[in-house]
A = this chain, B = another copy of it.
Amino acid sequence: MSVFTCVSTSDAQSLLEQFDIGQLTELEGIASGIENTNYFLTTTHNKYVLTLFEQLAPEELPFFLQLMSHLAEHNVPCPHPIANLNGELLLHICDKPASIVSRLPGKSITSPNHAQCMQVGENLANIHLAGKDFLLQRTNPRGASWWKSLAPQLLPKLDADAALLLQTEIRYQALHRFQDLPRGIIHADLFRDNALFDGDRLTGVIDFYFACTDSWLYDLAITVNDWCITEDGTLDKESTQSLLSAYHQRRPLTALERGAWPVLLRAGALRFWVSRLYDFHFPREGELTHAKDPEHFRKLLSQHIDAQSELRTIWRP
């Protein structure tokens, strides 16, 4: 987070007058998340999180809040936005759009084990299945047309090898669009820092602000590309197998999906390579740290390309 907004006790007390969730007993600013200000808000009834949206487009917020609501009501462990007495999820406080959501237990982990990877796979399948009867849609802002549109700005910043890889991969992906892959709601950013655990039990999936409508397999590839990577940056076969099997158990993968898997793994790596490249070469004004090195995802993409034929063998759940 580069900026946070101060909410006073009396601001929070006024806000709570719109709700039926008790009286304020504690308000504590917490630093987590890049785009939002968050407070732990405790009332005489329960524990909540108050989020002020600092950077997201206001017109997109209803999609995210209603999606979290829908998923929470379908037993996905995710923050549940609380409606005020008028039935509204989207509030205003300190001149910012805001929301109060349920507070989840657990902590994020940096080094997942196989049991935790299985939990991630199972919960990702649950999100996909629970999203089937969610009516709103949102086009993926980080899909093929996005990376194509950024390429002209990025290519002059890259060395010859990287530029060739980027151009070749964008072309390859354009020739391998699987229109018939099963689609629906995807999280699109289920990295390690967006899941909470209590021991081996997943207690929460958070940060739905990249969620959108796209192919489920793309979401699975993004997830595997983060959770199943060893410290030296290669895909770990066993934890990949654990995550995929647990997913498959809940939502069996189709024959088309098995065939498309190596292509989608590449697409997932390309998507984050491109966004890291962009953040690195075109940093936002006022950022305090240089963006993360894009190199990690370039290597991962090259590895996926090299290992493409071998990776198919993973598909024996």
Residue numbers of A with Cβ under 8 A of B are: 1-8, 28-32, 107-111, 193, 197, 231-233, 283, 287-290, 292-293, 295-296
Q: Taking A4-B30, A6-B7 as given, write out 9 further A-B residue pairs in contact, using a Cβ cutoff of 8 Å, ordered by the A residue number.
A: A1-B31, A3-B30, A6-B6, A8-B8, A32-B288, A111-B295, A193-B289, A197-B290, A232-B233
Do A231 and B110 contact each other (CB < 8 Å), given the known contacts A31-B4, A289-B193?
A: no
Q: Which secondary structure characterizes the binding site on chain A?
A: loop
What chain B residues lie within 8 Å of A28 (beta carbons)? 3
What chain B residues lie within 8 Å of A295 (beta carbons)? 111, 231
Q: Which residue of B lies closest to A231 (CB)?
A: B233
Are B3 and A6 in contact, CB atoms less than 8 angstroms apart? no
What chain B residues lie within 8 Å of A231 (beta carbons)? 232-233, 295-296
Which of B3, B29, B197 contacts A3, CB < 8 Å? Answer: B29
What chain B residues lie within 8 Å of A32 (beta carbons)? 288-289
Query: A45 CB to closest chain B CB, in angstroms?
Result: 21
Bound form: Cα–Cα A206–B208 in Å: 34
Bound form: Cα–Cα A107–B291 in Å: 10
